[in-house]
Amino acid sequence: MTTIRYTKDHEYIRVEGDTGLVGITDYAQAQLGDIVFVELPKVGKRLKRGDEAAVVESVKAASEVMAPVSGDVVAVNDALEGTPGLVNADAAGEGWFLELRLTDTTELDGLMDEAAYRAFVASLD
């Protein structure tokens, strides 16, 4: 079963079992514009919720991507190194950043589900 949760910083985590794929939302990529570089963590790195997990860069800005929940990095999306535009083209799919093995699944309860996130985004404009 797949669960998707969102943060107020426009990160998502797509959880299946005890691991989840982390990326930024389509709304975030549209705000940032053309993504030119994504700095990813080393596999094996242990992250606490809120730690800097990655840095995403457009031509004129560098934004930190925080770990939405605590966990260990088990994989990163190497495709972004050569093709950072994947984040623009398919933020929720091919443009994922990293995979976390969650250390505390109850942290997910503090995040927004899809409907809540959509309402949150709508409130921003």
Partner 1 sequence: MRYLPLTSEDRADMLARIGVGSIDDLFAEIPAGMRLGDLLDLPRHKGELEVERLLRGLASQNVTAGSVPFFLGAGAYKHHIPASVDHLIQRSEFLTSYTPYQPEIAQGTLQAIFEFQTQVAALTAMDVANASMYDGSTATAEAVLMAHRITGRREAVLSGGLHPHYAEVVRTTSRMTGDEVVTLAPDVLAREDLCACVTEATSCVVVQSPDVFGNLRDIAPLAARCREKGALLIAVFTEAVSLGLVKPPGEMGADIVVGEGQSIGNPLGFGGPYVGLFAARQQYLRQMPGRLCGETVDAEGRRAFVLTLSTREQHIKRDKATSNICTNSGLCALAFAIHMTLLGEKGLRRLASINHAHTIDLADRLETVPGVEVLNETFFNELTIRVPGDAADVVERLAARGVLGGVPVSRLLPGQGLDDLVLVAVTETVSEADRAAFVERLEEVVRC
Partner 2 sequence: MLMTKGRPAQAVALTAEGRRTFTSNRGLSIEEGLIFEIGRPEVTGVDLEEPAPFEHRLGACERESAIGLPGLSEPEAVRHYVRLSQKNYSIDAGIYPLGSCTMKHNPRLDEAMARLPGFADIHPLQPQSTVAGALELIHELSRWLVVLTGMEAVAMSPKAGAHGEACGMMAIKAALLARGEAATRRIVLVPESAHGTNPATATRIGFEVRSVPARADGTLDVAEVKARLDDSVAAIMLTNPNTCGLFERDIALIAEAVHEAGGYFYCDGANLNAIMGKCRPGDLGVDAMHINLHKTFSTPHGGGGPGAGPVVLSSRLARFAPVPFLRRDEAGLQLVEHAQEALDHDDLGPARSKVVSGKPGSTFPHPALEAFGRLTAFHGQMGMFVRALAYMLSHGADGLRQAAEDAVLSANYIRASLRDLLSQPFGDHACMHEVLFDDHWLKGAGVSTLDFAKAMIDEGFHPMTIYFPLVAHGAMLIEPTESESKASLDLFIATIRDLAHSVRDGDTERFQHAPSLAPRRRLDETRAARTPVLKWTKQGAALPSPSPRR
| Interaction of residue 94 with partner 2, rule CB under 8 A | no
Contacts of 21 (CB under 8 A, 6+ apart): 13, 14, 96, 97, 98, 99
Nearest to 10 by CA among 72, 70, 44, 54: 54
Q: Please, what is the minimum distance in Å from the beta carbon of residue 40 to partner 1?
A: 12
What is the DSSP secondary structure assignment for residue 105, as one 8-state letter? G
From 2-10, 23-31, 56-64, 105-113, give the range in contact with partner 2 by CB under 8 A: 56-64
* Rounded distance between C-alpha atoms, residue 54 and residue 44, angstroms: 14
Please identify, among the stretches 14-22, 36-44, 71-79, 102-110, the one whose residues bind partner 1 according to the rule CB under 8 A. Answer: 36-44
Residue count of the chain, please give it. 125
**Least CB distance to partner 2 at residue 34 (A):** 4
The answer to whether residue 16 forms part of the interface with partner 2 (CB under 8 A) is no
Point out which span in 10-18, 19-27, 31-39, 103-111 binds partner 2 (CB under 8 A): 31-39
At residue 65, the 3 state secondary structure works out as: strand
Residues that bind partner 1 (CB under 8 A): 36-37, 39, 57-62
